[in-house]
Structure 1
Amino acid sequence: MGGAMALTLGALAYPSMLGVSTVSSSPTRVIANTQWGPLTESDRDFVVKVRAAGLWEYPVGQIGLQKGTSKGVLEASKHLIDGHAALDTTCRKIAPMLNITLPNIASPQQEGFVTQLKADSGKQFDTDFANILRMTHGAIFNTVAKIRSTTKNSLVRALADQANDTVLDHITVMEKTGLVDFDQTLFQQTTPPKLPDSAVTPPPPPAGQPEVVLTPPPNATSTPVNIDGLTGAGGGSGGAAPAPSPTAP
């Protein structure tokens, strides 16, 4: 792979990949007790990370449908739009139930990925698209597994189940493009540079700003979590659930 791609990955890679840094030295600290189980800092950050992922990968999927030159990239673009629309629906359902504020734009790091791909064309676009997205999804895969295996909150657990399936699907379609440079991508995935918190944290939305919605495609195959079917979710609409009770800091 060319030097331009190596520079892009080296400048933008970060282990969290989905846009939120750890805000406390105690990510396991319970910040709220809810009817779906205790909510920890890492649980909250995970919901924000999944939302932030969609805020840059969904538009990148749209860009891929316009600029992709290979069948593999076009197919992968469809998967990005489909998968992240469904994940975003789940995030927007459970966030108010858990009193979590979601961002409306991705982190500066993630916006850098979008800017890079907007500037690319032809074969270079296809190559950067496949490698950047294979790197980011590979980096978050272990995080999804850790949340799924440790969270005591049923809503976060359900989101992690959905995210696990989606991330694995996206890893697979990127690899099927035949464009992934595994040596370079895995190196960047496992030995990322340090970036300041400001680069990897999506800003909170301004007060009163309408929530950004990632619209599912007409032929969507991915489905959001059935919140009403979760144990402890109670009957009726998820939006009618009581707010969690905050714990002492």
Structure 2
Amino acid sequence: MEKFILRISRKIAILYPALLSGVVVFLLVGATLSLVACGGTSTDVTGIDPYTQIGGTLTTATADEISGIGKVRFVTPLAGVLTNNSIKFKAALDGSSTNSTATIVFNSNDLNITESTGIAVKFSRTGVNVSCQIGVNGNWVTVASSITNMYAPLALDFVIDIHNNTGGSNKTRVLIWRYTPYAATTADVDTNSSGDLTSSYPAAQQAPGIYTGIIVNQATVTGAAISTNKIVN
């Protein structure tokens, strides 16, 4: 049975009338209060876009966290098949298991969200190291370890562009950032750059659908928000 999860804000604004030097004070009451300084990190996402649980035995499936083993499909499909999009993504690969993975799937034509159709970005943990594979319709390439060795398995925090309509010889394109600004030259990973990959990217293929989702295996996702693409091809 599918389980539908809708994200709503946990913050409640309360107007608190207090006469303090003639100023009305507004108090913002939330689950957490924090001071955030301006910085160069890639994401500021909290919570997960509305989704439907479609498989597995997730230990947590809320608007703020997905964890355990299973998969979800986002409620809102993409605007079209040949579209370019992005996702803000925060996750932790739990424990030291080699089976700990978190996979993002875009442009799938399968309502059950599988890695074999669509554009998939998979993060895996081996001990203290992270590896990343990118697949187009089940054809996979691996990101160079010189890049992924910089990633912390318990603190994955990315903005990822996923293009299914590049207008070029490479029909799809994936870019991964940890920091702003967003540009091809500042991306950790750009599938148009052969030096970022250990083998040839499946350039001639395009993904066939409009469905998106996340697959977790002994992993925890605390942020997932789909938006427009950050760069233009």
Between structures 1 and 2, the one with greater strand share: 2
TM-score by length of 2: 0.23
Greater relative contact order, per chain length (Cα 8 Å cut-off, separation 6+): 1
